[in-house]
Structure 1
Amino acid sequence: MRHIRVIYSFCLIILCLLAWCGKAVAGELSERLTNFPQWEQLTSVKPATGDLVYPDWFAGDWQVTSTLVDLVAPLAPDIVTPGFEANRQQLNQPVSFLVRFISEKPPITELKLIPKIDNKSTILVADRAFNSLNLARAYLGDKAVLSVKADPNSPNRQITLLRGDRQLVSIVSARATETTSDDKFITSEVFQQLFKGGSQPYFNSVESTTAYHKLATSQPAIEADQVTAVYLSPQDPDYFTAGSRPVALYRYRLEFFPATRG
């Protein structure tokens, strides 16, 4: 159970930098963040296809500071997820790590999915393996995390290999994005997680909604408001009791500072 609590904490703060899909109804994602913690069900999303395309102002290397600022267990005391109480220790404790966004040519099969992109253009995407590895080691320690492998056939799937023959498989299933006129880029991702290596596999579903805001002249250059909601999988004995409601909500403040490659 201790292994589940540790990896569960990591699952909750993972930056969702994986897949692209169509835009949400204007204002829906922004309103969802405003309504925290009154979340009753998953937001409106579409099946994830291809890679998440970021605005140009994400380009480059960043030193990110992530701070857990609030956590809620809506169905407590009847249902409390593994590790929830332990995660209180992370409250208001900033954690820093490096992330990177790079330009690449989209696969030909995906050009028709991305408006205004042709076969001569490039798109800005997250360096998924690099970002996830740095994030995991920042929270779990360098020795605990062996590597992160991105599926070469799908940007929606990656595997984090941990010491002790354990691994976390993350599969993005759905996503929505929203762009506003005031330099805001909002994403909502839903992904399935499977932790293998304990006495029995552990499943859950996670929704992460993040509003990124480009700042004009101040530092940090980008700030973000992120809420991660945890939903029980059908394998959980409390699944029908919880219904469509999240069993845990975590709110983070993210700050992006320009970093220089060393």
Structure 2
Amino acid sequence: MKFTLTLRIICNFCLIIILLLGWSKQASAGELSERLAYFPQWEKLTSVQPAKGDLIYPEWMAGTWEVKSTLVDLAAPLAPDIVTPGFEGNRRQLNQPVSFLVRFVKERFSKTNAARSPTAGGTPSPFTSLKLTPQTISTNIVADRAFNSLNLAKSYLGDEAVLSVKVDPDSPNRQITFLRGERQLVSIVTARATETTPDGKFITAEVFQQLFKGGSRPYFNSVESTTAYHQLSTSSPTIEADQVTAVYLSPQDPDYFTAGSRPVALYRYRLEFFPNNINPQKNRASQIN
């Protein structure tokens, strides 16, 4: 039970920043912003497209940031019939800020196979063998996924619980979080969309599958994370964001058909981004072996 609860906590909280990946399709005008406004009246998002490549962020998100994340609301739309095991425990996180570092960097990709990775670099991934191919740095801004994921996971689970995060060098849509006790969280982004509002907000919606390995049996679920970023006129904070994470049952769950297209858990966060000028060569997330 302790193992399952720990992995459900990872599922709920590693959605804030770590999976900012993938190619995106512009959503129809206002659809994503309206979705945030209708919280908690949600069903599965249907306007997303298959995830390919990396999500390109606005230039104003480039750099290293200290993020203060606060869970401000949560809902279990199908309670009391269906409630996820970690839901009531997560209620204790309400209005309790958690801080961690993230960074957004210029995109680096191979000239020969176009396999993409952030400029932060890293050690070979367990997904494939290391390919020594020429690399080019573009002007596109992408998330440093391994760095962001590792920092976020450690902020919630502790330094000793999380070993490393590896991103597939051939696909930024696949990553593995390695935990103590030979446990793993495999996350695969399957679809996404973006929207830019008239008042300058940059909104992303991502859908992905998660697999928890290392317990008595594997556990699957499906997650959607919708985030609206807004650059502020002040420097403290510089960026704020409104994020909603929706957890859906996977087809392997016995309650899958009962839940249908409705989420079984919803979490709403307020994110605040403060500039942080650390040495980018330090604390490389993927250097842990």
TM-score, scaled relative to structure 2? 0.85
Contact 1:190 1:205 in 2 (8 A): yes
Structure 1 segment 16-31 matched on structure 2, within 5 A: 16-31=19-34
Structure 1 segment 66-215 matched on structure 2, within 5 A: 66-106=69-109, 121-215=138-232
Which consecutive aligned stretches of 4+ in structure 1 deviate over 3 angstroms post-superposition? Answer: 105-110
- CA distances 1:126-173 after superposition (whole Å, capped 9, x unpaired): 000000000000000000000000001100000000001100000000
Structure 1 segment 237-256 matched on structure 2, within 5 A: 237-256=254-273
**1:103 counterpart letter in structure 2:** K
**Deviation for aligned residue 1:182:** 2.1
- The root-mean-square deviation of aligned C-alpha atoms, in Å, is 1.6
**Deviation for aligned residue 1:218:** 4.5
Residue segments in structure 2 that go unaligned for 5+ positions in a row: 115-135, 280-289
SS of the residue corresponding to residue 26 of structure 2 reads coil
Aligned partners of 1:232, 1:121: CA distance in 2, in Å?
38
- CA distances 1:65-103 after superposition (whole Å, capped 9, x unpaired): 110000100000000012001001111110000001100
**Deviation for aligned residue 1:4:** 1.5
**Deviation for aligned residue 1:43:** 4.2
SS of the residue corresponding to residue 164 of structure 1 reads coil
**Deviation for aligned residue 1:120:** 8.3
Instruction: Sort the Cα spacing of 1:107 and 1:181 in 2 relative to 1 into closer, same or farther, 3 A.
Output: farther
**1:4 counterpart letter in structure 2:** T
**Deviation for aligned residue 1:121:** 4.3
Residue segments in structure 1 that go unaligned for 5+ positions in a row: 111-118
**1:100 counterpart letter in structure 2:** R
- In structure 2, the partner of 1:115 is none
The alignment covers a number of residue pairs equal to 255
TM-score, scaled relative to structure 1? 0.93
Contact 2:66 2:99 in 1 (8 A): yes
Contact 2:235 2:274 in 1 (8 A): no
Contact 2:195 2:203 in 1 (8 A): yes
**1:13 counterpart letter in structure 2:** F
**Deviation for aligned residue 1:122:** 2.2
* Identity in percent: 74
SS of the residue corresponding to residue 54 of structure 2 reads coil
**Deviation for aligned residue 1:26:** 1.2
**Deviation for aligned residue 1:183:** 2.3
**Deviation for aligned residue 1:188:** 0.2
**Deviation for aligned residue 1:42:** 2.5
SS of the residue corresponding to residue 85 of structure 1 reads helix
